[in-house]
Structure 1
Amino acid sequence: MVLEVVRIGQRLVRDDRVTTHVALVARAFGCTKIFMTEVNPEIKDTVEKINKTWGGDFVVEFIDNWKSIVKKKKEEYKIVHLTMYGESIDDVDEQLRKEKNLLIVVGAEKVPREIYELADYNISIGNQPHSEISALAITLDRIQKGKQFKNNFSGAKRKIIPTKKGKNVFVSGTRD
């Protein structure tokens, strides 16, 4: 299954950290790419530095128009729009697992009404206000049932070695 994300909009300056975290969650939870509109270019630099240090080849692509990407991807992908107004993830997670390719749409501010019509799935993780970061993480985890964490990121200069107490990080042949 190929998983990609579209981030629609961003409240300038205010959402730099949130958008960065949306990208980091997408990367860590097994997505291959995120498309972003109206975003601070430093976010791409941050993610590229993470790739260099922690491995992987996650891609950040800036786009001018979210609608053209969604319409193009709709030919081969199912479109999943995360919204607290959608049907419960509990009712569709099994169906999502059967799909070949998913493009997950994550809004910032109020999303255009059109995305509700373009989406194959409008899903919620809960019907109370919550973070788009948590919605993306929970959705990706439900779809993959935790298997995304067994993925080793190629080219990593650092790797966390799980430990009960303290920190253990493998760094290019040494331990931190």
Structure 2
Amino acid sequence: MNDGPELAVVRLGHRPGRDERMTSHVGLTARALGADRVILPDNAGQSKATVKDITERFGGPFSVELSDSQKALIREWEGRVVHLTMYGERVQDVEEGIRETHREEPLLVVVGGEKVPFGIYEHADWNVGVTNQPHSEVAGLAVFLDRLFCGRELEREWEDADQRVIPTETGKKVEPTDSE
């Protein structure tokens, strides 16, 4: 999906037992809406397994990995950093500049979990608010990626999928692909 340099999403913080679903949904949203990979905290092994399973069944390419130091990863990132926060600049005011930059440089999107250290705000090239109201980090990531890719991610074709969802007016329909 991503036609430019790499776009990775990093999830800051993970509280086992409390954040499993949210961390998994950050990874699944990153995958579904155009990122190349997601980096999760090293204690989020169950979430990694969930995202990996979905990628194997519904296609990729997409990678998921664990890291014991998201802060170091952000500091050492060779590209630009977008931190999604409700305290940032309005997405509609900065999306075009981010899109232009991403045509040339890798982009790391930082999604918080627990309280985000102030150093992340300082290191980010953009602190971006999808809205300045309390909301889910998954919702913020989804809106940001959709605006970044101008909706093109919704038409994506998936490689190496074992199954696919068939759009229907009502009900659920999943069928095997021809690649099996």
Say yes or no: TM over 0.5: yes
Q: 1:71 aligns with which of 59, 68, 75?
A: 75
The equivalent residue for 1:148 is 153
Structure 2 unaligned segments of length 5 or more: list them.
none
The equivalent residue for 1:96 is 98
Structure 1 unaligned segments of length 5 or more: list them.
none
The equivalent residue for 1:37 is 41
- Check conservation: 2:44, 2:66, Cα contact below 8 A: no
TM-score, structure 1 normalization:
0.91
- Check conservation: 2:166, 2:174, Cα contact below 8 A: yes
What's the CA shift string for 1:24-82, capped at 9, x where partnerless? 00000011111112433111111111111101131111111112211221x3x210001
**Matched residue type, 1:120:** D
CA distance in 1, matches of 2:38, 2:76: 15
Q: Secondary structure at the match of 2:160?
A: coil
Identify which range, 50-59 or 78-87, moves more after superposition. 50-59
Q: Secondary structure at the match of 2:11?
A: strand
Runs of 4+ that moved beyond 4 A: none
